[in-house]
Structure 1
Amino acid sequence: MAQHSYGIDLGTSNFKIFGLTNKKIINEKNVIAKKNKDEVFQFGDLAFEMYEKAPENIEVSFPVKFGVIADIKNMDILFERFFKKLNGKGITGSSNFCIAVPTDITEVEKRAFYDMIAESRVKAKHISVVEKPIADAVGVGIDVESPRGNLIVNIGADTTEISVISLGGIVLSKLIKTGGSKLDDTICSIVRKKYNLVIGRRTAEQIKINLADAINASSSSYVAFGRNIVTGLPASKEISSELVFEAIQECLHSIIDSIKVILERTPPELAADIINTGVYLTGGSSLIQNIGQLITNETGLKINLDDEPEETVIRGIAEILSNNKLSELMYVPREKQYN
């Protein structure tokens, strides 16, 4: 693969880009802040710092929703900015790109990922896509070309993708609209209901990071700041891990129910392999404490959790770009067809 090659993983929460030349990965928030509607004020982590704090003339937005591109214009700008940041200079000469796409989306939605690069100011010589579960599997060290079946569960910000892979392809895949962001929403809702306290999404995320436990094994608390609904004044409240457990239970069990559905549809020989290999848990939200134990309790399968589960997809793309033997995993999506 040519040296000027780049891998991209567009997550709802984070934008990840890898450069083959410098072997560098940038992993920042997939957020853009625009001033007076058209002036780019900030992007990435710095833009996320402004989320829920910006004045009226600054709009902070997330261009990717539920795993697909919802705002192509802002996504183009973000792509160009991150590409420039990775290279440390302006737009370079022709380059090759490989971008990860979810499996369980339409061909039109897949094509949007391709078109984002093709129609940008970055000169692309060749653009290919790779199915996200395949890149995920390569990233955790699975031999994807083998006939052995593997179950990958990627719990992201807006979605959870559950896939069975074998022989370099995807046997089954299911994308559900449940992830870390939904857990944040349920925490906001329960804190409001119980304490009459309105908290922001970023505060809810911090509560989740500090207190969320899938089996309620720990007993701790976190002081949250917000606005009291009754008085309208700023207020604080100590939030217990038990309350957070109550909030997230339903979402976690919907993920487990979807895992069971995939397992029920898995061919017997591949199911036998999965018993031996277990479940590969990836995605940023898989860092919730004891979520692996909960899945083991419900399915009887062992859990394989990566040290950096939020970067397994981009590491997989990096390996695919670096290893010519894996180049067949990439393909060009079909052209748009009109009747």
Structure 2
Amino acid sequence: MFFTNMIGVDLGTDTLKLRDRSGEQFMESRNMIARRGRKTLAIGNEAYMMYEKNPTSVQVLRPMTGGVIASAEDMESVLTYTLRKFTTFSQKSAGICIAVPSQVTPVEQRAFYNVCNSTLTPGRIHLVDKGIADAISIGLPVLGPEGHMIVNIGADTTEISVISDGKVIIGRTLKEGGFSLDDDIVTMVRRKFNINIGRRTAEQLKNNLAFMINGPRLEQKVFGIHTLSGLPKSDMIPALAVSVAVLATIDRIVDEVRQVVDRTPPMLRQDILREGIFLTGGVSLIQNLPMYLQKEVSLPVYHIQDPKNSTIRGLVTMINQKELHALMRSPRR
């Protein structure tokens, strides 16, 4: 049977994750490609190692932006390379179940299908709304009539989903995520400390120092280029400065969550008011972010365990439970 050979694929802007039906085989790789002209130099983690270190003749690119495919050719190269490295994948017999944003247009949805179709036998590609996969990973009764709200703050987007009867009733994909926070930190360090740093350094500052409400007064040393002299320069960056820098973007995400709650139909809204909001995604690991969201929206907020991998866990659960197969879809030809 087809589903016995299926694998789950979480195709994120920053990271590509694959897991087989048993859950025993797992692979995580950066969704990046390095090219010199038309020649591919590196893919995945190897390409990321070149990121922000590459000469001007080499481009290090992400094939996706805003949660959707920006370059079909590059995405096809990354996916094909990654699938071939995955130990349990057989191009002839396996299929894939991919999580996609709930607000993708038919054209964007078709792009996912076409990229996968170039690697697999036609008809073996199924798409699932990311919010549905996240809800299933928590163990929520997604097929029931009750309303559930999931907020996934990822690298490039924030996916807000209200779910009932196995469908996303209200879906909002906000173009704010970890990359936006990294950019906020880059700007803050340049303006306050006169140092130009890259996104990789900013990501380290975010992961190590950022907090909401209250947090330890830590510092981290960074190295960069002085904005005036152009010479190498280092300085100690305090956690408070990093946390203040990301606050405006976090507040925009919070405002969007509040608006989705307000737009939810009354009966489903009552369920959410009683049950609360489930928070997931890598950015949700910022210290005290769930507490801050709860304070701002005046609703219980529950932080999902291992939030970076909730989507891929949900996909594997769907593959293994026959009653959930109806939630998968294949784009029309």
What TM-score do the two structures reach when normalised by structure 2? 0.95
- Taking the TM superposition and a 5 Å limit, the aligned residue runs for 1:176-187 are 176-187=174-185
SS in 2 for 1:87: coil
1:64 aligns to what? 64
1:327 aligns to what? 325
SS in 1 for 2:217: coil
1:86 aligns to what? 86
Residue deviations 1:250-306 (CA, integer Å, cap 9, x gap): 100000100010010112221221122211111111111111011111112122212
Query: Is 2:186 aligned against 1:188?
Result: yes
SS in 2 for 1:3: helix
Q: Give the letter for the 1:114 counterpart.
A: Y
Question: What is the deviation of 1:19?
Answer: 2.2
Q: Give the letter for the 1:7 counterpart.
A: G
2:173 aligns to what? 175
For residues 129 and 248 of structure 2, the distance between their equivalents in structure 1, rounded to whole angstroms, comes to 29
Query: Is 2:43 aligned against 1:47?
Result: no
Give the paired residue count.
332
What TM-score do the two structures reach when normalised by structure 1? 0.93
2:258 aligns to what? 260
Question: What is the deviation of 1:95?
Answer: 2.4
Question: What is the deviation of 1:101?
Answer: 1.1
2:32 aligns to what? 31
Aligned residues of 2:154 and 2:283 also touching (Cα < 8 A) = yes
Q: Give the letter for the 1:32 counterpart.
A: I
For residues 23 and 91 of structure 2, the distance between their equivalents in structure 1, rounded to whole angstroms, comes to 14
Gaps of 5+ in 1: none
- Taking the TM superposition and a 5 Å limit, the aligned residue runs for 1:138-177 are 138-177=136-175
Q: Give the letter for the 2:21 counterpart.
A: L
- Taking the TM superposition and a 5 Å limit, the aligned residue runs for 1:222-233 are 222-233=220-231
SS in 1 for 2:295: helix
Residue deviations 1:12-63 (CA, integer Å, cap 9, x gap): 11111222267422122111122x3233322222221210012233321100
Change (3 A) 1:155 1:184: same
Change (3 A) 1:230 1:261: same
For residues 55 and 123 of structure 1, the distance between their equivalents in structure 2, rounded to whole angstroms, comes to 38
2:109 aligns to what? 110
Q: Give the letter for the 1:197 counterpart.
A: I
- Taking the TM superposition and a 5 Å limit, the aligned residue runs for 1:229-244 are 229-244=227-242
Residue deviations 1:158-183 (CA, integer Å, cap 9, x gap): 11011110111111111111100000
For residues 124 and 105 of structure 1, the distance between their equivalents in structure 2, rounded to whole angstroms, comes to 21
For residues 22 and 159 of structure 2, the distance between their equivalents in structure 1, rounded to whole angstroms, comes to 30
Q: Percent identity?
A: 39
Query: Is 2:295 aligned against 1:294?
Result: no
For residues 302 and 85 of structure 2, the distance between their equivalents in structure 1, rounded to whole angstroms, comes to 33
Q: Give the letter for the 1:51 counterpart.
A: Y
SS in 1 for 2:91: coil
For residues 304 and 28 of structure 2, the distance between their equivalents in structure 1, rounded to whole angstroms, comes to 17
SS in 1 for 2:103: coil
Gaps of 5+ in 2: none
Question: What is the deviation of 1:199?
Answer: 0.4
Aligned residues of 2:23 and 2:316 also touching (Cα < 8 A) = no
Aligned residues of 1:11 and 1:30 also touching (Cα < 8 A) = yes
For residues 22 and 246 of structure 1, the distance between their equivalents in structure 2, rounded to whole angstroms, comes to 39
Aligned residues of 2:25 and 2:88 also touching (Cα < 8 A) = no
Displacement over 6 Å in runs of 4+: none
- Greater shift, 293-302 or 214-223, is seen at 214-223
Aligned residues of 1:14 and 1:28 also touching (Cα < 8 A) = yes
Q: Give the letter for the 1:147 counterpart.
A: P
Aligned residues of 1:33 and 1:61 also touching (Cα < 8 A) = yes
Aligned residues of 2:102 and 2:129 also touching (Cα < 8 A) = yes
Aligned residues of 1:216 and 1:242 also touching (Cα < 8 A) = no
